[in-house]
């Protein structure tokens, strides 16, 4: 590729990456798919085809179709005629993929960010029946005196918590 | 007639924004809401070639059985909506069902690819009759008492977790990836069920009695899971050992007895089912069969 074409290609790719990075999550609109770690990459072929790679958070996450359509739609609206969306399952998404900016935005919107994702050790996944204390701070008042009320909430990715200091309920992005 | 009199400000801009989003979505032309599932191919864009070392018919059959367990379980879990003891439990059971539905969609899609006959996830979910389903019978039994439902969820999620842990290393990369993702979800499902079994078993006299009864009702169905087919590195004996160890751990913590019961004859893996599967499928399949190919 001649130098001037290479330059145009690089500029277009950088623009495609910026456009894709601004697409927001349909269920957590304060986060972009890039913040969430769902956008794995954007590449551009020699013919100008833009390929965005996404990975699902939960297998049954109904927002995945919206994410795919939104990403493709935004890229087309930005003038990229040929857009392909690739889905990858491997390596599986974990909450560790959420960026620092994403964690800050979650906390600012009253959702406690996830702690470190559980590590998969060799052999069977152990079942812990002892009461567990996990350090989750209240996103409103900052108190660490909190308790989980349900590990399942309005979307797959969130858990319900309650703050014993300010008495407010809040949601947590649960570790997976 | 638009009688709104407020000045055109930010609100109007968000309207434009909403219209832009809709226009963008329409321009895609994707049929995104087939039967409310969101998109037509959950493995869209994944490299789906079956490796030459993998026997495609065996892969198809195995994915179908695992998909059927998940779909039928998801339907039963969904039936708890508006009937669970507390709102939080309803949300939890529906969430678990949603994860399993997602697993079923991926597994059906993989089964269809491995078959090579062009059947889609919808063909497999909506257009097979009860005798063609390969789920274990435990999954299709009516929900019954909440204690029975959590005992069943414990058994099914602990078994499935033990299988998926092993499948994560199987030679088919798509099934391996589905399993690796599923392990994370199933860990939550098993924890939820185990916590409830302990809470009820170690609760009042009444909750203990009903939890024990739930375990007793599940026990004759263990054999069907444990003597089922072994494939892709999921040896029956290690899976059985892991499941038994988990059940013993939970029963001990809950003060319950694991009954030693003779397994029921027959197997859902061979197409043997109870009278409860046909009505479950009739409801699940009714919209798709009344309006074949419909989208909204």
Q: Which of B214, B220, B188 is nearest to B200 (CA)?
A: B214
Residues of B in contact with A25 (CB under 8 A): none
Helix boundaries (H) for A22-145 = 33-36, 64-77, 100-108
Confidence band, pLDDT 50/70/90 cuts, at residue A167: very high
Q: How far apart are CA A130 and CA B249, in angstroms?
A: 12
B14 versus A12: which is more confidently predicted?
A12
The two three-digit tokens of residue A126, written as one number? 């152990």
Looking at the partner chain, which of B28, B101, B173 has a beta carbon nearest the beta carbon of A72?
B28
B230 versus B188: which is more confidently predicted?
B188
Determine the pLDDT at residue B234: 72
Q: Coil, strand or helix: which one is A146?
A: strand
Tell me which residues of chain A, numbers 59 to 98, contact chain B at a CB-CB cutoff of 8 Å. 59-62, 64-66, 68-70, 72-74, 76-77, 84-94
Determine the pLDDT at residue A155: 84
pLDDT tens, A1-54?
788 888 999 999 999 999 999 999 988 999 999 999 999 999 999 999 999 999
Q: With a cut of 60, say whether residue B4 has pLDDT above it.
A: no
Mean pLDDT on A146-175:
92
Q: With a cut of 90, say whether residue B36 has pLDDT above it.
A: no
Q: How far apart are CA B19 and CA A174, in angstroms?
A: 33
Q: With a cut of 80, say whether residue B45 has pLDDT above it.
A: no
Contact A118, A175 (CB under 8 A): yes
Confidence band, pLDDT 50/70/90 cuts, at residue B213: very high
B6 versus B247: which is more confidently predicted?
B247
Contact B57, B230 (CB under 8 A): no
Q: How many pairs of residues across A and B have Cβ atoms under 8 Å apart? A: 134
> Long-range contacts made by residues B29-38, C-beta under 8 angstroms, separation at least 24?
B30/A69, B31/B295, B32/A65, B32/A66, B32/A69, B33/B295, B33/B296, B34/B122, B34/B294, B34/B295, B35/B122, B35/B126, B35/B287, B35/B288, B35/B294, B35/B295, B36/B296, B37/A62, B37/B105, B37/B122, B38/A62, B38/A64, B38/A65, B38/A66
Q: Where are the beta strands (DSSP E) in B52-99?
A: none
Q: With a cut of 60, say whether residue B75 has pLDDT above it.
A: yes
Q: With a cut of 80, say whether residue A115 has pLDDT above it.
A: yes
Determine the pLDDT at residue B46: 67
Q: With a cut of 60, say whether residue B19 has pLDDT above it.
A: no
In the sheet with A146-150, reading across from the earlier edge strand, the strands are: A111-112, A169-173, A158-163, A146-150
Q: Is B100 on the interface with A (CB under 8 A)?
A: yes
Phi-psi region of B147 (alpha: psi -120 to 50; beta: other; left: phi over 0): alpha
Q: What is the Cβ-side half-sphere exposure of residue B42, based on CA atoms within 13 angstroms?
A: 28
Residues of B in contact with A160 (CB under 8 A): 88
Spell out the residues 6+ positions from residue B114 whose beta carbon is closer than 8 angstroms to its own: B50, B56, B57, B59, B60, B63
Residues of A in contact with B39 (CB under 8 A): 64-65, 68
Kindly report the nearest CA distance between residue B177 and chain A, in angstroms.
Answer: 6
Domains within chain A, CATH numbers bracketed:
3-87 (3.30.300.130), 98-118+134-173 (no CATH)
pLDDT tens, A39-79?
999 999 999 999 999 998 888 787 888 899 999 999 999 99
Q: Which residue has the tokens 């959420």?
A: A98
Determine the pLDDT at residue B3: 38
Q: Is B121 on the interface with A (CB under 8 A)?
A: no
Mark yes or no for CB contact A124/B165 under 8 Å.
yes
Mean pLDDT on B176-190:
94
A30 versus B42: which is more confidently predicted?
A30
Q: Is B44 on the interface with A (CB under 8 A)?
A: yes
Strand partners, A150: A160
Tell me which residues of chain B, numbers 66 to 85, contact chain A at a CB-CB cutoff of 8 Å. none
Q: How far apart are CA B254 and CA B160, in angstroms?
A: 22
The two three-digit tokens of residue A83, written as one number? 């857009």
Tell me which residues of chain B, numbers 266 to 295, contact chain A at a CB-CB cutoff of 8 Å. none
Mark yes or no for CB contact A62/B180 under 8 Å.
no
Q: Among A58-67, A74-83, A93-102, B179-188, where is mean pLDDT lowest?
A: A58-67
CATH class given for the domain over B55-263+273-288: mainly alpha
Mark yes or no for CB contact A59/B178 under 8 Å.
yes
Determine the pLDDT at residue B43: 67
Determine the pLDDT at residue B6: 38
Q: Which of B51, B68, B47, B70 is nearest to B59 (CA)?
A: B51
pLDDT tens, B80-126?
999 998 898 999 999 999 999 999 999 999 999 999 998 999 999 99
Q: With a cut of 60, say whether residue B11 has pLDDT above it.
A: no
Q: What is the pTM of this model?
A: 0.87
Mark yes or no for CB contact A127/B250 under 8 Å.
yes
Chain B nearest-CA residue for A78: B24
Mean pLDDT on B200-223:
97
Q: Is the dihedral of CA B50, B52, B54, B60 positive or negative?
A: positive
Contact A164, A147 (CB under 8 A): yes
Chain B nearest-CA residue for A69: B25
Interface test with B, best of A23, A59, A126, A149 (most B CBs within 10 A): A59
Q: What single string gives the DSSP state of each residue in B202-248? A: TS-HHHHHHHHHHHHHHGGGHHHHHSS---TT--HHHHHHHHHHHHH
Kindly report the nearest CA distance between residue B154 and chain A, in angstroms.
Answer: 11
Mark yes or no for CB contact A127/B190 under 8 Å.
yes
Burial of B56 (0-12, 13-18, 19+ CB in 10 A): middle
Q: How far apart are CA B275 and CA A17, in angstroms?
A: 55
Determine the pLDDT at residue B228: 61
Confidence band, pLDDT 50/70/90 cuts, at residue B30: very low
Q: Among A125-139, B51-65, B278-292, where is mean pLDDT lowest?
A: A125-139
A37-A40-A45 Cα angle (round to 5): 155
Kindly report the nearest CA distance between residue A109 and chain B, in angstroms.
Answer: 20
Q: With a cut of 60, say whether residue B277 has pLDDT above it.
A: yes
Q: How far apart are CA B194 and CA B211, in angstroms?
A: 12
Kindly report the nearest CA distance between residue B1 and chain A, in angstroms.
Answer: 31
Determine the pLDDT at residue A102: 97
Chain B nearest-CA residue for A161: B88
Contact A106, A136 (CB under 8 A): no
Q: With a cut of 50, say whether residue B164 has pLDDT above it.
A: yes
Determine the pLDDT at residue A154: 85
């Amino acid at each position: 590729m001649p130098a001037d074409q290479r330059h145009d290609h690089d500029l277009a790719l950088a623009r495609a990456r910026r456009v894709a990075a601004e697409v927001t999550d349909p269920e957590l609109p304060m986060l972009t798919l890039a913040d969430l770690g769902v956008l794995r990459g954007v590449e551009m072929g020699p013919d100008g085809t833009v390929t965005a790679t996404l990975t699902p958070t939960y297998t049954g996450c109904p927002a995945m179709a919206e994410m795919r359509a939104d990403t493709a739609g935004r890229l087309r609206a930005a003038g990229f005629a040929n857009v392909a969306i690739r889905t990858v399952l491997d390596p599986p998404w974990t909450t560790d993929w959420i960026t620092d900016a994403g964690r800050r935005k979650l906390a600012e919107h009253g959702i406690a960010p996830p702690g470190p994702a559980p590590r998969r050790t060799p052999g069977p996944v152990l079942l812990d029946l002892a009461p567990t204390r996990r350090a989750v701070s209240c996103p409103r008042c900052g108190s660490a005196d909190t308790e989980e009320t349900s590990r399942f909430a309005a979307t797959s990715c969130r858990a319900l918590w309650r703050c014993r200091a300010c008495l407010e309920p809040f949601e947590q992005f649960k570790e997976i | 007639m638009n009688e709104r009199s407020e000045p055109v400000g930010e609100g109007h801009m968000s309207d434009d924004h909403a219209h832009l989003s809709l226009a963008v979505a329409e321009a895609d032309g994707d049929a995104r809401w087939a039967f409310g599932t969101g998109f037509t191919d959950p493995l869209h864009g994944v490299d789906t070639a079956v490796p030459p070392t993998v026997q495609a018919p065996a892969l198809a059959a195995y994915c179908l059985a695992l998909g059927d367990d998940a779909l039928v379980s998801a339907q039963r879990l969904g039936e708890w909506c508006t009937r669970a003891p507390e709102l939080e439990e309803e949300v939890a059971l529906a969430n678990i069902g949603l994860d399993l539905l997602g697993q079923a969609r991926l597994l059906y899609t993989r089964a269809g690819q491995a078959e090579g006959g062009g059947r889609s996830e919808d063909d497999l979910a909506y257009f097979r009759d009860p005798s063609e389903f390969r789920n274990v019978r435990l999954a299709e039994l009516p929900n019954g008492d909440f204690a029975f439902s959590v005992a069943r969820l414990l058994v099914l999620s602990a078994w499935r977790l033990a299988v998926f842990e092993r499948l994560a290393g199987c030679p088919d990369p798509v099934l391996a990836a589905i399993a690796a993702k599923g392990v994370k979800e199933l860990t939550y499902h098993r924890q939820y069920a185990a916590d409830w079994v302990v809470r009820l078993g170690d609760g009042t006299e009444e909750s203990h009695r009903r939890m024990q009864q739930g375990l007793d009702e599940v026990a004759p169905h263990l054999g069907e899971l444990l003597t089922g087919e072994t494939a892709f590195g999921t040896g029956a004996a290690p899976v059985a050992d892991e499941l038994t160890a988990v059940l013993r751990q939970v029963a001990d913590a809950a003060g319950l007895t694991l009954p030693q019961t003779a397994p029921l004859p027959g197997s859902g893996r061979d197409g043997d089912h109870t009278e409860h599967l046909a009505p479950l499928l009739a409801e699940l399949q009714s919209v798709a069969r009344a309006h074949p190919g419909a989208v909204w």
